[in-house]
Structure 1
Amino acid sequence: MASILHQIAQNIGMDKAIAYTSGARIVQGISGVGTMFFLSTFLTGIEQGFYFTFGSILALQVFFELGLTGIMQQYVAHEASHLNLDENKQYQGEEQYQSRLASLVKFCLKWYSVLAGVVLVFLIIVGNIYFSKYGNSQSSSVEWKLPWIIICIGTSICIFQSPLTAILRGLGYVKDMSKIGFYGQIINPLCIWLGLVLGLKLYVMGIGFAMSVVIWQVYVIRKGLYRILTNLLKTKVSEKVNYFNEIFPYQWRIALSWISGYFIFQLFNPVLFATEGAIVAGQMGMTLHALNSIQSLSLSWMNTKIPMMSKLIALREYVKLDTMFKQTLKQMVSVCSVLLAAFFLCLCILNTSQLEFNNTILADRFLGYVPTLLMIVPIFLQQFTGSWATYLRCHKKEPFLVNSVVGGLLCMASTIGLGNIFGLYGITVGYCIIQIFLCFWAHKIYISKKTEWHKLEL
């Protein structure tokens, strides 16, 4: 049996980093089913709407983070590819690369220390204004103010930790960072479930953030990864990575892409919460929770390859790069297709059986068949667009700027405009059509830029 499982793992390209990352996603998927059950059982339909809309408002942090976390992983990988780590957890090699690597770590710590505080204040203010206007009119009995403050505090701490995770991934500790996610996906849901059973309601989201912070801190200290970071902080900086000359010309393009991503992925719940009520927003949130878990699992195949792809690009080994990319893309699309089909089948079973628990029909907490299918198609297509974008961005360039901005503007106009006129169906139909168009456009960009860049650099 062990040999059979090992062969299957080899066939789908599952190395240790992917095993932990995808293992975390598999556990997330299984625990997600449990979480959906507990949310349906211990939260009302209105409270479920608050729960998922919380997440969409929290995503506004992207307007401050501006894609820098992902950029750091790539820049660190490029500098570290010229260095070696000794037994004292210090990087050895040319002074130029040691210095540039250390400057990246110092820059991140300074920048994100300020950013975490700014985001905390911003989210508290915006959340209070939004939920006071649209939430209190739907149900004054929902206790959301204190939970929201706790969630914002947890989010700001996670923001401070996020660049350190990106740096460690760029240094090659993908497996260790994936382990943190794996452990978190086991411990966090258990704490949330217990909190729901104990009647903590919307406070459970804050509990989840607190557990993520603790797990990350404990693991990084126990594994000695902090020592690597502190040694880099002690390294004398004689040559810096110039932010405005090297990072900013790339970041502003990534930033616009990430901001556009908010309008593409996160605007549904706030609009539905305001126009059709918390219950419909909760159904959209629950459905997207399942679909995003599937997408996150399959994308782990590609995301764990970012440091290696960045290294191969730095060394100009394009044949190896393309071989790895094509194989990984095939594997992740296969995984995604199977899981999307399984999810829709489960939804059909729930609707047919009308399974009920605690006076709640579980199928009623999800979108209907047609809106769900209209959301499944974009999730499938995003496996391709996301992979093509990752491949090209590992070149420290952002050719998807116009594509992302146009997509964001179209989705914003569609979600707000069609949502106000046609409601849920207007949002889902518009979104599906836009994603089909963006996928064809993205493929054209991928082919043309790959050909252009590799031809110039050979």
Structure 2
Amino acid sequence: MKGKLLTITTKLGIDKSIAYSSGARVVQALVSVGSIFIFSAFLTGVEQGFYFTFGSIVAIQIFFELGLTNIITQYVAHEDSFLYITCGQISGNEGHKSRLAYLLHFCVKWYSMIAILFFISLLVVGFVFFTKYSKGHPEVSWHIPWLLICAGSAIKLFQAPFNSFIEGLGYVAEMSRISFWQQIIIPASTWLGLFLSFRLYVVGISTLLSVLIWFVYVKRSFLWALLVNLWKTKITERISYMKEIFPYQWKIAISWISGYFIFQLFNPVLFATDGPVVAGQMGMTLNALNSITGFSLSWITTKIPSMSKLIAQKDYVSLDSMFNRTVKQMLLVCFALLGAFFVFLLFLNLTSLAFRGNIIAHRFLSFLPTTLLSVTIILGVFVSAWATYLRCHKKEPWLFNSICNGVLTTLSTFGLGKLYGLYGIVGGYFAIQCLMFPWGIWIFKTKKKEWHGE
């Protein structure tokens, strides 16, 4: 039995990093199933709409982060390819070590400022939005929960570059382990809070608990000493932000901002046009589909440091071998999970399963919009894999594609959403993703040939 399990995990490409990362996703998936029943029992359909719209508004973090978090992992991995780490000490080329230390100092200063600005902006935007569009639901207590969410999200933003730094140094498994424990502890506390009638307060509490778990784990491990030693390193050589990072970052930033308009507008627009109940159905469905996407992409995201190092060493044969094998594995996982999700939805609809008097199937979108969204998930897995591969070269070829995608999706969401509601939003998004997909294929093939001299 042990031998069979080893064979299966080898074929699926499950290493230590993926084991923790995907393990966290498995827990998240199980939690999502459990949350369906918990939400139905302890949150009304209206409160469910608030719950998921909270997350969509918090996603304006993209406008402050501007893609730098993702870039840090790649830059650290490139510098780390010339260094050695033993017992929390970094040795090797002093120039690369100095550049790494400077990048850490830069991140601390940069993220300190944007975390404060993010907190203030998020607080104001949320209060304005919910004050305007929640007038018909005075029974929902959202003010203090929103304040807690803003505080927790700002602290989490400040922690973000340290995650990227540690992953770039090759400790992907350690970061995945933190995520794994967060996926266990936070849902448990959320369910307990709902059982104790904390209602929407659980969102803010879970966000604050998330940052606390991260800090406790890093502080008690060798990772803290590693960061402290790097912080104390004498800086003799620097990374020029304007010459090295900014020319790449502004392209990534626009792509990420475009991503907000592609993925995060649905819930707020539906909340304003069709009400919180429909927004809650969209949120619950997208939560399940995004969990499938995140689980599948664990195979490629955990390979970013390795791919970046192979690119720095110009070992393109090993790079392509790793990438092609990884894409096949992640697609297999994605299709299997989507199939299981539809079987689950079919079961809910056929049985009209209810929990505490609430029919569970009514908390999801119907089959047609769910199917259209699922197709976009499959296309998105391909595009995300290609984009990750190319961005490991410290370049952003997806700029104009992302801009066009973001603009078209925004116009479609607001325009068709106002005219046709839910089906207008989903139908428009589906059509746009199908039209943009061939462009993504062309970008990947063209840039790969150009950069590798093929």
TM range, normalised to the smaller chain? over 0.9
CA deviations on 1:202-232 (whole Å, 9 max, x unpaired) are 0111121122111111111121201111111
SS of 1:446's equivalent in the other structure is helix
1:300 corresponds to which of 284, 298, 301: 298
Cα deviation, residue 35, structure 1: 1.4
Q: Which residue of 2 aligns with 1:364?
A: 362
After TM superposition, list the pairs within 5 Å mapping 1:257-336 onto structure 2: 257-336=255-334
Distance in 2 between the 1:255 and 1:79 partners? 22
Matched to 1:195, the amino acid is G
What count of residue pairs does the alignment treat as equivalent?
Answer: 454
Q: Which residue of 2 aligns with 1:202?
A: 200
Residues 1:30 and 2:9 aligned together: no
Distance in 2 between the 1:37 and 1:162 partners? 32
Tell me if the contact between 2:167 and 2:175 (Cα under 8 Å) persists in the aligned partners.
Answer: yes
Cα RMSD (Å) of the superposition? 0.8
After TM superposition, list the pairs within 5 Å mapping 1:94-109 onto structure 2: 94-109=93-108
Matched to 2:359, the amino acid is I
Distance in 2 between the 1:73 and 1:340 partners? 30
Q: Which residue of 1 aligns with 2:234?
A: 236
Cα deviation, residue 90, structure 1: 2.0
Matched to 2:3, the amino acid is S
After TM superposition, list the pairs within 5 Å mapping 1:171-182 onto structure 2: 171-182=169-180
Residues 1:3 and 2:8 aligned together: no
Unmatched 5+ stretches in structure 2? none
Matched to 2:33, the amino acid is V
Tell me if the contact between 1:384 and 1:439 (Cα under 8 Å) persists in the aligned partners.
Answer: no
CA deviations on 1:110-162 (whole Å, 9 max, x unpaired) are 10011111100000000000000001x22011000000000000000100111
Cα deviation, residue 436, structure 1: 1.3
Matched to 1:32, the amino acid is S
Unmatched 5+ stretches in structure 1? none
After TM superposition, list the pairs within 5 Å mapping 1:9-408 onto structure 2: 9-87=9-87, 89-135=88-134, 137-408=135-406
Matched to 2:90, the amino acid is Y
Matched to 1:106, the amino acid is H
1:430 corresponds to which of 428, 431, 438: 428
Tell me if the contact between 2:170 and 2:305 (Cα under 8 Å) persists in the aligned partners.
Answer: yes
Matched to 2:320, the amino acid is D
Percent identity between the two aligned chains: 56
Tell me if the contact between 2:115 and 2:154 (Cα under 8 Å) persists in the aligned partners.
Answer: yes
When normalised by structure 1's length, the TM-score is: 0.98
Tell me if the contact between 1:22 and 1:300 (Cα under 8 Å) persists in the aligned partners.
Answer: yes
Matched to 1:40, the amino acid is S
Tell me if the contact between 2:52 and 2:283 (Cα under 8 Å) persists in the aligned partners.
Answer: yes
| Displaced runs of 4 or more, over 6 A | none
CA deviations on 1:21-79 (whole Å, 9 max, x unpaired) are 00000010001111122112100000000000000000011001001000000000000
SS of 2:425's equivalent in the other structure is helix
Distance in 2 between the 1:284 and 1:44 partners? 15
Distance in 2 between the 1:86 and 1:168 partners? 14
When normalised by structure 2's length, the TM-score is: 0.99
Cα deviation, residue 438, structure 1: 1.8
Cα deviation, residue 282, structure 1: 0.2
Tell me if the contact between 2:151 and 2:208 (Cα under 8 Å) persists in the aligned partners.
Answer: no
Cα deviation, residue 86, structure 1: 3.1
Distance in 2 between the 1:75 and 1:174 partners? 15
Q: Which moved more, 1:124-133 or 1:338-347?
A: 338-347
Cα deviation, residue 7, structure 1: 1.1
SS of 1:423's equivalent in the other structure is helix
Cα deviation, residue 83, structure 1: 0.5
Cα deviation, residue 266, structure 1: 0.4
